[in-house]
Amino acid sequence: MSDILIHHDSGICTITLNRVDKKNSITTAMYQAMADALAAAQGDDATRVVVFQGHETIFSAGNDIADFLNNPPAGQDSPVFRFLHGIASFAKPIVAAVSGPAVGIGTTLLFHCDLVYAGDNAAFSMPFVNLGLCPEAASSLLVPQMLGYHRAAEALLLGEPFMAEAALEVGLVNRVVPPTETNNYAQAVARKLAAKPLSSLIETKRLMKKNQGSLVAQVMTEEGASFGRMLREPAAREAFGAFMEKRKPDFSKV
Ligand code: COA
């Protein structure tokens, strides 16, 4: 079975992270598949809404750490950046269903979704500093905008998880539901959206986002350059090595 499932039904394209044994961590091939699916959905008149979902126990553990070490993203054409630019500029509505941990890009991709539904077991975290890295997906811009500076600093500098209710309070999620119902709830909302006039959905989303589309792209590019450089530096090497060896990282020398 593929690590990314793409399902089309009644105008809804559902993209499912399906690598549960590795906690839906995302490989280069999975970014490629998601970037391709978004590009196809953008160009396909029959697709009106996209849904991102994971499993009721796990949304995503973020980048696959081994894959990231072996195949670090090389430039803006790499699959991870194609995916990020694709989701950030996607013209039609995107609904996300999140249950369980949403780590790193598992959380930052949600800032580019229009409606987010969370299971009450959802745990959001952006532990880039703990990995010797820096924010990506324009999260250095979008997290302070949504959370306010001090809560953003807590999320991005400490990198500790926050739960579904806290995410609801800051506006990152629209509603908290039982984890067994999250994906169905998102599908029901997607069906409501799919029944509406597509041109109005697209124009409304464009108007809401138009003031910062180019800024988001610019920030993503700047973050990407730093992230790519930092991936190769000692702090990230130590953090990733520690993860692979199942030990605590030692940053005393970096
Ligand atoms: N990359 C690669 N493999 C990962 C992974 C990741 N980001 N996250 C989890 N896995 C793998 C583990 O190595 C383990 O593999 P194994 O069974 O071959 O040993 C398997 O998935 C299960 O993970 P485990 O940590 O045992 O699950 P858990 O339920 O105890 O914890 C998480 C779940 C998501 C909290 C935890 O796996 C985690 O923190 N992952 C790393 C998140 C991270 O730092 N992401 C990078 C962001 S840039």
Tell me which residue of 130, 128, 119, 116 sits closest to 163, measured CA to CA. Answer: 119
Query: Do the domain assignments include residue 78?
Result: yes
Domain containing residue 81 = 4-177
Mutate to test the pocket of ligand 1, among 19, 24, 25, 108 (most ligand atoms within 8 A of CB): 25
The predicted pLDDT at position 74 comes to 84
The reply to whether 213 falls in a domain is no
- Output the DSSP codes for 215-242: HHHHHHHHHHHHHHHHHTSHHHHHHHHH
The total domain count for the chain is 1
Q: Is residue 142 part of a domain?
A: yes
pLDDT of residue 31: 98
Q: Quick check: is 233 in a domain?
A: no
> Residue type at 21?
D
pLDDT for the residue 1:
82
Strand, helix or coil for residue 163: strand
Give the residue, by CA position, lying nearest to ligand 1 atom 30: 23
Among protein residues, the one with the nearest Cα to ligand 1's atom 19 is: 22
Q: How far is the CA of 21 from the centre of ligand 1 (A)?
A: 9
User: On the CB side of 7, how many CA atoms lie within 13 Å of its CA?
Assistant: 12
- Look at residue 68 in the predicted model and tell me its pLDDT: 87
Quote the ligand 1 centre to 53 CA distance (angstroms): 18
- Examine residue 139 and state whether it is found in any structural domain, yes or no: yes
CB 17 within 8 A of CB 27: no
Is residue 81 a part of any domain in this protein? Answer: yes
**DSSP type of residue 6:** E
**Both structure tokens of 54:** 């994971």
Residue with tokens 């993860």: 243
Within a domain: 234: no
Residue type (1 letter), 216: V
pLDDT of residue 237: 94
| Phi, psi angle pair for 51, to nearest 5° | -120, 130
Question: Atom 45 in ligand 1: which residue has the minimum CA distance?
Answer: 62
Measured in whole angstroms, the distance separating CA 207 from the mean position of its chain's CA atoms is 22
Residues with CB under 6 A from ligand 1: 22-23, 25, 61-66, 101, 103-104, 127, 131
What strand order describes the sheet that includes 12-17?
4-9, 12-17, 49-53, 94-98, 115-119, 175-177
Residue whose Cα lies nearest atom 25 of ligand 1: it is: 23
User: The domain that contains 140 carries what CATH number?
Assistant: 3.90.226.10
The CA 25 to ligand 1 mean position distance, Å, reads: 7
- Please list the helix, strand and coil fractions of the chain in percent, rounded to the nearest 5, in that order: 50, 15, 35
Q: What is the DSSP letter of 157?
A: I
Asked if the structure places residue 8 within a domain, the reply is yes
State residue 69's pLDDT score: 86
Burial 229-250 (b: 16+ CB within 10 A, else e): ebbeeebbebbbeeeeeeeebe
**3-state SS assignment for residue 51:** strand
pLDDT on residue 76: 83
Across the chain, which has 254 residues, the per-10-residue mean pLDDT values are 96 98 98 98 98 98 93 89 97 98 98 98 98 98 98 97 98 98 98 98 98 96 94 94 96 93
Residue whose CA lies nearest to ligand 1 atom number 29: 23
Name the residue at shortest CA distance from atom 6 of ligand 1: 64
Q: State which ligand 1 atom lies nearest to the alpha carbon of 128.
A: 48
